Structure formats: structure tokens, C-alpha cells
Amino acid sequence: MTFSRRQFFKTSTGAALAIPLMASLDIDPCEAATGVNYDLSMANPEGAIRLNFNENALGPSPLAVEGAKAGLAEGARYALGGLLKPLIGEHLGIDKDWILMGTGSTELQRLAPISHLQGGGNVVSGYETWGGGLVVADNMGADVKRIPLIKDNGYSFDIDRMLAAVDADTKIFLIVSPNNPTGATAPYAQLKRVADSLPKDVLFVIDEAYADYLPDSFKTGLDLIKEGYSNVLVTRTFSKAHAMAGLRSGYGVAHPDILAKIAKFGCGPASTSIVVFGAVQGALADMEHARKSRAHVEECRAYYQGEAKKLGITSVSGVPPFILFEMGERSEALVSELRARKILISNGKSWNMPNYIRISYGLESENEAFFKAFREII
């Protein structure tokens, strides 16, 4: 795929501003060049080291940045996100009519219960897992059956118990694979077993936000769709391996009938900003950057695992850009003490794992700063 800034945008970006979203704001080249103080401190509060949101420390592809600039120059125009679907379809080997653009994959996750629980019903999910859609289901008054993961198997999904929880009122079955926060990835045989076992009117949602960190040959929920399963919804994002979390772009892949049902409640044709429109084109034209992100995560994982072993700390991790440390009753206090040093990590209690902390991998200097402070505290 060849990326051309002129392909969709007819005007030059001229002197479009390059705003360093994740850089320190101590020296602001934008202010120096324009006299305008661009306050982006929400992206880096008080110079803190952010290891709490699973962001990609490498930043987006240079081509994605150029695409975003091109889009910014055309900011007066609406972008029709549907025009990205052929590019994503080509990338995935999926027909464009089976793709729905969203404001991050979170929008698709949240719209799944809104669209499929209108007449009532319940949801089956793992417990120690991320679930933006689960919060919506809770707020709708639905019964959300959260099944604990199998600790002795790397906190993987307990498919036997999850399938046993399915009943005549079940409308949605959710798996996050690779899982956040445990990193466990469901093998394809396991996904296929679920798809074969579920009634055809149950929507099988597979959150694949971290699928780009898997080996290229690894089979995922997309392969279920390609094999003809019509009740599967796979959601993916440009936030993680493509490092575009702040731009908010993702998509769902499913049978067109499922997408039409979801689209009644959101994911409108103009919900993709023209800045994102350009950035996504650049990201898809530079998959090597995503592979570099994957290699960076592999290096970080080895480093964190090695340091944890030296300290006698039990860790849990997988292919995604984060790791869990089991810290017992000290977990919450550790998060607070590190925050006081401007190092931000996550408390596992958000995922029913109160004895764990989750650390997102950063740049080498950030990882070293974390362990320096961590050793001093423990």
C-alpha cells in the first residue's frame, strides 16, 4: 500500500504545526515558533512518567503524523470514515462492508450492549478483564455474569465455566484476547469452541485491542469471521501498537447485519475526524512501525520479568505492553507512593485483582526510573 498525502487531500499542509503531544512541555517549540502557548499538560501532567494507560511509548509512525497534519490542514471539512474501510479491509483481508469505524474500539464495545440488550438479557464475561461494554450493561440493569479467570494457568479464561453460565437469556459473550490486564491470549481452538457452542442469537464479542502484538501467523477472532461465523464481533484499535490513543480510532468487524444493528446507536459516518482520517492512512502504510512497537514490547517484557525475578516478585504477563506484579496488601500504597514521585501505574483492584499492580512499558529511561523508585520504596 502506498501512502500519498495528495491522495485524499488536495491542498498542501504548508506550515502545519507539529505538536509534541507526549513530550515534556518545559521547552515548547510551538510556542517559540508561533507565540501561542499550547497547553497540552493533560498529556503529561506535571512531567509525570505515565505507565498506567498502556500507551505506546514509541509514539505514532512518522507517516501517521504526516497524515494527521494533512488532515488538520483540511479541518474545515467533514471526513467520511467509511472511506477508510477499503484500506482496512485490504489490510485485514476482509470485505469493507464487514467493517464499522468507531471512535476507538471502546465505542464499539459500549454500543454492543446498547444495541443487543434493548429487550433485556444477560452478559457472560471473565472477571479479571477490561470491559468498557460491561459498565454499560451494568448501567442498563443487565445481569453481568463475571466468571473468575484461572489463576494457575496465567489468569486465562475459564471457558468451561463461562459456557456453563450461558442460558436462554444470554445476549452477549465477551472475551478480551489478548487480555487486559493479565496478558492471556485465547488459542484459536478455544475461540472456535465458543463460537460452535453459543446459540446463533448470542453475540460473541472478541476485544482484540492488543492483537497487533501477536505473531503474524497467530489465528484470532478475525479468522472465525472469515470462516463464516455470523454472530462474532471483533473490535480492534489504532490506540496501541499504532500509538494513536489520543486520536481515538478503532473499528469493528462482523456480519453486516450485526454492524447495522450497532450503527443505529452510534458510529455515524462523520464520527471519524479528518485528522484521524489522515493518520490512519499513514499508519496502515507503515506496518513496519507497528512491528517495531512489538519488538520494543518484547524487550521491555524480558527486562521487567528479569528485574521482578531478581526482587523475588511474582509477575504475570503476555504479549501486550504491560505486566502485573503481585504485591499483596501493599499494592494500593505502592501506587500512591509512586504517584508521589510522579510515576503513574495502575492498581489491580479495578479488575478484581487488588493484590496486583499493573505497569505499562515505557521508554528505556522511564522503565529504569520506575525500578529505581520501586526499589527505594519496597
pLDDT at 13 over 60: no
Q: For residue 323, give the CATH number of its domain.
A: 3.90.1150.10
Q: Same domain, yes or no, for 279 and 293?
A: no
Query: Helix or strand or coil: residue 250?
Result: strand
- CATH number for the domain that contains residue 264: 3.40.640.10
Phi, psi of 169 (to 5 degrees): -95, 0
Contact in structure between 172 and 203 (CB atoms under 8 Å): yes
Whether residue 97 is found in the same domain as residue 133: yes
pLDDT one-digit tens code per residue, 276-317: 989 999 999 999 999 999 999 999 999 999 999 999 999 999
| Whole-angstrom distance, CA of residue 350 vs CA of residue 103 | 23
Where among 254, 284, 314 does a domain terminate?
A: 284
Extract the C-alpha cell encoding 287. Answer: 506496518
Residues forming beta bridges with residue 233, ordered by sequence position: 205
All 3 cell numbers of residue 229?
Answer: 461465523
Residue for cell digits 502484538? Answer: 213
Same domain? For 308 and 273 the reply is: no
Asked if residue 197 is part of any domain, the answer here is: yes
Place of cell 478455544: 190
Specify whether 161 is located in the same domain as 219.
yes
Q: Quick check: is 19 in a domain? A: no
Answer with the one of 246, 268, 284 that is the final residue of a domain.
284
Q: Are 192 and 252 members of one domain? A: yes
Residue 23 in domain: no
Does residue 146 sit within a domain?
yes
Distance in angstroms (rounded) separating the CA atoms of residues 162 and 156: 12
Domain range for residue 355? Answer: 288-377
Distance CA 279, CA 182 (A): 30
What is the per-residue pLDDT across 78-124, written as a single tens digit (0 to 9) for each? 877 778 999 999 999 999 999 999 998 999 999 999 999 999 999 99
| Nearest of 2, 1, 4, 17 to residue 67 by alpha carbon | 4
| Residues 109, 135 share a domain | yes
Examine the domain organization and report whether 236 and 367 are in the same domain: no
Binned at pLDDT 50, 70 and 90, residue 178 comes out as very high
| Residues 172 and 255 both lie in one domain | yes
Q: Which residues contact 367 (CB under 8 A, 6 or more apart)?
A: 300, 303, 304, 361
The predicted pLDDT at position 272 comes to 84
Judgement on whether residues 326 and 237 belong to the same structural domain of the protein: no
> 325 near 359, Cβ under 8 Å?
yes
Boundary residue ending a domain (235, 264, 284): 284
How many other CB atoms sit within 10 Å of the CB of residue 56?
A: 23
Mean pLDDT of 173-198: 98
Classify residue 187: in a domain, yes or no.
yes
* Counted domains in the chain: 2
> For residue 112, what is the enclosing H or E element?
helix 105-116
